[in-house]
Amino acid sequence: MAVVAVVLAGCPHRGREQSPMGAFGVVCAGGDAACDEPGTTGALPAVVAVGAALQIVFTGDQVTDSPIRVRAASPYMAVADGPSLQFTAPGFCAVLARSEAGTVVDLAHVEVRPIHTLALEAPAWLAPGQSAVIVAQPRDASDQPLAGSLSYAWSSSDPSVVAVDSSSKGRRAKVLGVGAGTATLTVEAGAARASVPITVAENP
């Protein structure tokens, strides 16, 4: 009992919390700007994008007789989406490591912020036949990167100049220079949108 008390005494901070008995973590999913290797487990991010999903897990020693599940404190702030939580409103959202019997063994707060900009890393030009990977990074109003898995929609203003690979659904898009000219590459994630011109030419 005394050791478990340490668990709750040790979780006053939001995000990246560790306790002697266990810790919250996140299973990396496609489209998450905070991780690049799907399936791996990382630390609970402190700041998440509105609309993003996180598969949060609690790992540690057995502290109750029933399995521990992670749930949001409020459906007003986050809703269950399969094994993940989707954060629906800006603010702070507590996540609870809770047994089926209703005992809470740990808690943490995630801060949820709106996407202010989508930063794009893209080449200014491509040669015909050349491909490149474009990366989108959601950021808040203070230019801080936002974590969480989002749905991205990529498009080209002129596919005869720059084509977007049809498999480009996450924050990374594969584009191909097709014919000479300039096309605008656009990405949308939630209410955020960003565009960048890409010129296709034999010589820049």
Partner 1 sequence: MMRLVLLQTTALAASLLLPCCNNQAGIELNPRTNPPLDTTLTESEIRIHAGIAVAVDAIPLSGGEPSDDGTVVTLTSTDMHVIGVDPAPAEGVFVIYGVMPGTADVRVYMNGDVAGDIPATVLDQGGRP
Residues that bind partner 1 (CB under 8 A): 1-2, 4-5, 7-9, 11-14, 63-64, 72-78, 89-94, 96, 98, 102-105, 107, 109, 111-112
Whether residue 185 contacts residue 152, with contact meaning beta carbons closer than 8 Å, is answered with: no
d(CA 70, CA 96): 6
- In the bound complex, what is the minimum distance in angstroms from residue 62's beta carbon to partner 1? 11
Give the nearer residue to partner 1 in terms of CB position, either 80 or 96: 96
Give the nearer residue to partner 1 in terms of CB position, either 35 or 105: 105
Per-residue HEC secondary structure of 44-87 comes to CCCEEECCCEEEEEEEECCCCCCCEEEEECCCCCEEEECCEEEE
- In the bound complex, what is the minimum distance in angstroms from residue 57's beta carbon to partner 1? 18
- In the bound complex, what is the minimum distance in angstroms from residue 48's beta carbon to partner 1? 13
Give the nearer residue to partner 1 in terms of CB position, either 4 or 196: 4
Which residues does 100 contact at the CB level (< 8 Å), separation at least 6?
A: 66, 67, 69
- In the bound complex, what is the minimum distance in angstroms from residue 179's beta carbon to partner 1? 42
Give the nearer residue to partner 1 in terms of CB position, either 10 or 30: 10
CB atoms within 10 A of CB 145: 14
Which residues does 183 contact at the CB level (< 8 Å), separation at least 6?
A: 156, 157, 158, 159, 161, 162, 197, 198, 200
Give the nearer residue to partner 1 in terms of CB position, either 82 or 102: 102
- In the bound complex, what is the minimum distance in angstroms from residue 183's beta carbon to partner 1? 33
